[in-house]
Amino acid sequence: MNPMLTRHQQKTICSQLGRVKLQLLYKASIHGFTGAAFHQRCDTHSPTVSVGFNASGYVFGGYTKQPFSQSGQYVHDDQAFLFTFSGEKLLKYPVTGPQYAVRMIGNSGPYFAEALILVNQSQAVVYSNPGNYCNFNAAEMHGNDLNLTECEVYQVEETTELERPWRTISWELLKRQELMESIKTYKPTISSVSQLRVLLIGSVGAGKSSFFNSINSVFRGHVTSQAISGCSSTSLTTQFRTYSVKAGREGKPLPIILCDTMGLEDSKGAGLDMDDISSILKGHLPDRYQFNPSAPLNSETHGYRKSPGLKDKIHCVAYVIDACKISIMSTKMEEKLDAIRRKVNLMGIPQLVLLTKVDEACPLVKEDVRNIYKSGYIKELMQEVSARLGVPLSCVVPVKNYNEELELDMNCDILLLSAVIQMLRFADNYFDELSDRPSNVEIKDVESR
């Protein structure tokens, strides 16, 4: 469920409301253009921003601090207002009759000041009647196009700043250098493995490829884009790719390989197949294997490794989760991730979560990435993803990938490098577990799984 309201439009609306963010609750094209669907998703939530979209390109709506209900009554709100976008500029219309600011009608969507109703009488239309309690120019508001192509309702959430960081992290240049050196000099404790392999798993657009590009950028000394990444409703990664990061342009490969996969999708027959995940974990998949959701890998596929060694297997799994979409993660996606987690657990492979796009999720972090562990909102998101994916909070690591930047930022680098350090530590636990088994049994046992 992707918001139709652009990031810039969200930021512009939030600038009117303080240090807040918008969380999508209701999307008519998905949940239905009915009053019942709107109330099911939005009742009791507050404050909210409701937005209508029409085929003429107008984006307009209203804000209220009052929770929605189906009481049939008017509610008082002296902070309510209507708005429309004129290009990138927000035009704001205050409600002049606060006692009639919002009406709670069961068979309609958001109902503002007897002047604007979105999803009126459970139809994909707008009721527009400027006058008594809110005055606006109808042509300016919606271009006199009263047919809705979309209606969205967002909850307005405050971004609280904690008194002190709840995780300790050093934001010094020396720390960055120490982290880079630790990664460069790392050696797996099992001699047959020269590079540990980390599998990145996540839904389409979560930032798997961007994470590799970002790590590669840190060690190259400038922003790079080797792996295909971007915005799309379907996975831009269609092959299984194993990326080895070099310590500089002419440097040696680092002792870590990041394995990128096709994105997970809700529907069956789309996105990464569960059987392919098993093949990847066991080391059967060749690099550049072309994914085919309708026909998973089998032993007759060209390049299939029939007898992979421990060096070919996955030594750590990282789930890449978009911080902006945790609360709207579908049940199907949650079930799919749970099935993967259980499979990985049975194989004894350590797991962690990379929480991406933390700057988009929280204005406090957008201002300064060093606020990451002072953001109460980000901590709540990390706790939520910990609970929903069934991993300890200590296994959830926030990162800020490089997406629009042209130059590196030391603080982003430190977050990214800290995530890699956790991968190395988790892989060490995996190797230690193997080493603790009887001599010559550990490798055979793992490779037989």
Mean pLDDT across the stretch 223-237? 59
In the predicted model, is pLDDT for residue 19 greater than 60?
A: yes
Nearest to 392 by CA among 336, 426, 353: 353
- Residue 296 pLDDT class (50, 70, 90 cuts): low
Is residue 414 in a domain? yes
- Co-location of 225 and 108 in the same domain: no
Domain end residue (candidates: 96, 127, 158) = 158
| Residues 263 and 204 sit within 8 Å (Cβ to Cβ) | yes
Q: Before 308, cis peptide (omega within 30)?
A: no
Is residue 433 in a domain? yes
Nearest to 323 by CA among 384, 395, 271: 384
- Co-location of 427 and 292 in the same domain: yes
- pLDDT by residue (tens digit) across 313-332? 999 999 999 998 887 777 88
| Residues 241 and 259 sit within 8 Å (Cβ to Cβ) | yes
In the predicted model, is pLDDT for residue 445 greater than 50?
A: no
State residue 131's pLDDT score: 86
Is residue 166 in a domain? no
Is residue 353 in a domain? yes
- Co-location of 423 and 378 in the same domain: yes
Is residue 218 in a domain? yes
In the predicted model, is pLDDT for residue 276 greater than 90?
A: no
Q: How many degrees, rounded to 5, is the angle at CA 236 between CA 235 and CA 238?
A: 80
- Co-location of 138 and 190 in the same domain: no
- Co-location of 180 and 311 in the same domain: yes
Q: Which residue has the higher pLDDT, 443 or 428?
A: 428
Mean pLDDT across the stretch 96-102? 92
Give the CA distances from residue 36 to residues 95, 231, 391, in Å, rounded to whole numbers and listed in that order: 26, 32, 36
**What CA–CA distance (Å, rounded) separates 231 from 246?**
26
- Co-location of 350 and 384 in the same domain: yes
Nearest to 431 by CA among 93, 189, 237: 189
State residue 85's pLDDT score: 96
- Co-location of 354 and 396 in the same domain: yes
In the predicted model, is pLDDT for residue 449 greater than 70?
A: no
Q: Side by side, which strands form the sheet with 116-118? A: 74-75, 102-103, 111-112, 116-118, 126-128
- Co-location of 124 and 262 in the same domain: no
Domain span at 375: 173-447
- CA torsion through residues 15, 18, 20, 24, sign: negative
Phi–psi pair at 215, nearest 5 degrees: -65, -45
Q: Which of 3-12, 232-241, 250-259, 320-329 has the lowest mean pLDDT?
A: 232-241
Is residue 163 in a domain? no
Q: Where do the H-state alpha helices sit in 99-207?
A: 138-142, 173-185
State residue 437's pLDDT score: 65
Is residue 165 in a domain? no
Whole-prediction pTM value? Answer: 0.71
Highest mean pLDDT among 88-92, 282-286, 421-425: 421-425
- pLDDT by residue (tens digit) across 367-408? 899 999 999 989 989 999 999 999 999 999 999 999 888 899
Domain end residue (candidates: 134, 158, 182) = 158
- Co-location of 150 and 270 in the same domain: no
Total tally of structural domains belonging to the chain: 2
- Co-location of 226 and 123 in the same domain: no
Q: Which of 287-296, 335-344, 399-408 has the lowest mean pLDDT?
A: 287-296
